[in-house]
Every structure is written in C-alpha cells, then in structure tokens.
A = this chain, B = another copy of it.
Amino acid sequence: MQLGLIGLGRMGGNMRERLRAAGHEVVGFDHNADKTDVANLAELVEKLAAPRVVWTMVPAGKITEDTIDELAGLLSEGDIIIDGGNSKFTDDQPRADRLKPKGIHYLDVGVSGGIWGFTNGYALMVGGDAEIVEHCRPIFDALKPAGQFGFAHAGTHGAGHYAKMVHNGIEYGLMHAYAEGFEILEASELVENVPAVIKSWREGSVVKSWLLDLLDRALDEDPKLANIRGYAEDTGEGRWTVDEAVRLAVPAHVISASLFARFASRQDDSPAMKAVAALRNQFGGHAVKR
C-alpha cells in the first residue's frame, strides 16, 4: 500500500523503515534534505495514487495544523489524512469538520512505543470512522507489534489522541511509582545492592513491566544514576490528563502528583517553599536560608 509520511524525525523516520520493511511504499517528506524523499508536499501528493493516505508526524500545535491545512489544499475527494502526532484530542473533531466539505477523511492516531517501536512495533489507538480505519488497516498492521495486541479503534474523532493522552498520564504515574521506590531503596541502610533488587523484579514479581526492564537497563549503565540530573520535561499529555480529570471530576492524586514532581524538578527554587520558610521564620523565629 502507498503512504505519504510527513515528518521523518525520531518517530517518523523509524516508522518509514518499519513500513517499508513490511513491503509498503512510503513517500516521506521532511524539511531535512538528508531525510526527505520529495522536495515538498505537492510533490509528495503527486507521487501517490488516489485515494491517497497521508500521515502527519510533526510537532503538535501550529505545525501540525499548518501541515494539515496545506495538505487539504493539495488532496482530493476521497483522500485520507492521518495525524499520528501528539495533538490534543480537542483539535481532532474541528479538523475532521474542516476537511469534510472537501470530501477528505480524517483519522487521529495515538502512537506509543518511542524509539523501540521500529523493532517492537507501535501501540496504535485510532479515532475516526470505522470504514476509513478499515481502509488504512494494512498500514496499521505493519506498524503495530507482531502479536495480537497493539491496536484499538477507540471511537470517533479525537478518541485516538484521547486514549494516547490517558496512556501517557498512566505512564507518568508508573514511572513515578518506580522512581519513589528507587529513592527509598537508595536511602535505605539495609539494601546493599539496589540495582540487583530491581533486576530481580524483571521476572516473577508483580511489578514486572517494560518500564522496569528499562530502569534496569539504565542502572546497568549507571548504577546510582550519578550522571543524570533529576530534571524532566513534560510534553502536554500529562497536563491534559489532569485537566480532564478535573473536568470529569475524577480523583487523580497519582497522575497529578507525578506531573507536579516534573514541574518541581525544573525549578531552581520553589516560590511555595519560600513562603513556607518565611512563615516559619515569622511565627517560630526559625532561621531562613538566604
């Protein structure tokens, strides 16, 4: 099957390779001349036979919106745009509505798997109409893992990105649970070999997981994580998950705490703790650090 693929970075580049390895014909576009197959989107569209399927894998927000709008001007009735980037789920229905008058179909796909997806396959959560999903099935089948899992048609427009958002919210919580356990073990006087304990959990334990395998891998490289600063960015999905929890009145102590810990990791000093220190000084005469 033919696919136009826009954005050949860490994710898109690997996806092109995985799709080609599965026998699909991928026409890739990237602003990086070393990576791109075509000079521009017009040439990309030209190289595909109708009905065309074009997958965007570019940064969420304005770049994705602009790319989809440019594509909308180049594509024809019956063509399909798939956004596999980290768009916010609220962007999907408006996009589908914008494309519909031109007869262009739209799918949103949440893609999980990171840099391991090329080898292991990607978990795909798709939003949109069932018949369009079916039409694109060969592409999804090539991207997903070889086993029986890794693909879901989650619902209507936005459901794919929504499912991926919650996936990432959970991911925050899982990582932080391991992280707290790691910190307690590191602080303990009794456990002499923390990496060995974590390694032991990889089989037989209740906490075995792929993330645990990766933590073990990181500890193999750096047993105390001495060369890594405790600093973590966030890419939007964690925030949106908490916003959704708030909107839907779902108590989300764990996911929000994981998100807040990332915020704190990026602060040189905590304004809140300045206020606490000031208050302790005011009522108790406790010394403050200046």
| Chain A residues within 8 Å of B, Cβ to Cβ | 10, 89, 112-117, 120-125, 127, 144-145, 147-156, 158-159, 162-163, 166-188, 190-193, 196-197, 199-212, 214-215, 217-219, 222, 225, 227-233, 239, 241-266, 269-286, 288-290
What residues of chain B lie closer than 8 Å to A163, measured between beta carbons?
185, 191, 197, 200
A179 touches B209 (CB 8 A): no
CB closest chain-B residue, reference A201: B123
Query: Per DSSP, are chain A's interface residues mostly helix, strand or loop, or mixed?
Result: helix
- From B10, B171, B203, B272, contact of A123 by CB (8 A): B203
How many copies of this protein are present in the complex? 4
Complex Cα gap A182–B255 (Å): 12
- From B149, B284, B290, contact of A199 by CB (8 A): B149
What residues of chain B lie closer than 8 Å to A175, measured between beta carbons?
275-276, 279-280
With A249-B263, A263-B249: A209-B154 Cβ-Cβ less than 8 Å: no
* A23 nearest CB across to chain B (Å): 19
Complex Cα gap A254–B188 (Å): 18
Residue from A191, A192, A273 whose CB has the most chain B CB atoms within 10 Å: A273
With A127-B190, A188-B244: A206-B260 Cβ-Cβ less than 8 Å: no
